Structures are given as structure tokens and as C-alpha cells.
Amino acid sequence: MAQADEETRGTLSRRRSRHGRNGRSSVVGPDVPPIDTRIDQFDLTVATTADYLRGAWPAELADVRFEVGAMPAQNSGTDGVDRWFVDRARRRIILYRLPIQRMSKLHRNDELHQRMMVESCVFRAVAELLGKDPWDLGPERYRFL
């Protein structure tokens, strides 16, 4: 009988922690959606747009790095605040999140138009890098039938 009690205690101790709290779920649980911030949405939009452009222009954009920065360290001297920086020598494009999100004039401030603004900045930055017109990069992208 004593051996049975030890086995039972051993089984219980494996199932529960010292205070009976083992096996509890995380604080937020599985039903709570993951945190989705404006920064996450911006990064996702830049990444998906860059992937689209890499698919359309694989040879030209194979070694280009897309990066996201908060604000430009210094302005290029043109009117306004820079939205992106193109470094042709290093094959690098930096998109500045705060000027794109906060200083862009949208005729409707909703998720769709905010995403379209970010996409247009990625297109214009890539067009600057490649020396092309932004509309030539993906003419079918925004054509609705």
C-alpha cells in the first residue's frame, strides 16, 4: 500500500506543480488576437510590396535591401521631409515610417489608403533606384476591370 501511495504522489507531482498551478494557459490565452500595431502594419506593407516588386523585377532587385527607419537623420535639402533614402552604391532603400504615416496627405484616412500610401512610397523609391517611372514597375497592380 505504501508503494501505491508513492506512485500516486509521483503521478500527482508530475501533473501539478508545488502550488497546483502547472498546466495553466498563458495570461492572454489562445482566443486573444496577437498585438497588431501601426509599426507592424507598416513593416508588413513594405515587405509585401518589396516582395511583389522583386517578383516583377527579379534581376534588377535581387540584391537590394529594404529597410525601415523612424526618421531621416538629415534632410536631402528638397522641400519637405524625406520619405525614403536610396543608396545606389550599397543597393539599399530606407523608408522612413514617421514622415510617411504622419505627414502624408490622404483624402480618406483609413487602413486601405494608409496602406496605398506606403506602397506608393516603396514604388517611388524603387523607381528612383532603377531610374524608371513608378507606373512602369507594376502597370497591372492597380488596374481594376
pLDDT in tens, 70-103: 998 887 767 678 999 999 999 999 999 999 998 8
How many CB atoms neighbour CB 130 within 10 A?
Answer: 18
Residue 69 clears pLDDT 70, i.e. is over it: yes
Instruction: Name the pTM for this structure.
Output: 0.72
Distance CA 45, CA 65 (A): 15
Distance separating alpha carbons of residues 88 and 66, to the nearest angstrom: 12
Residue pLDDT, tens place only, 13-56: 455 555 655 555 556 566 666 667 889 999 999 999 999 999 99
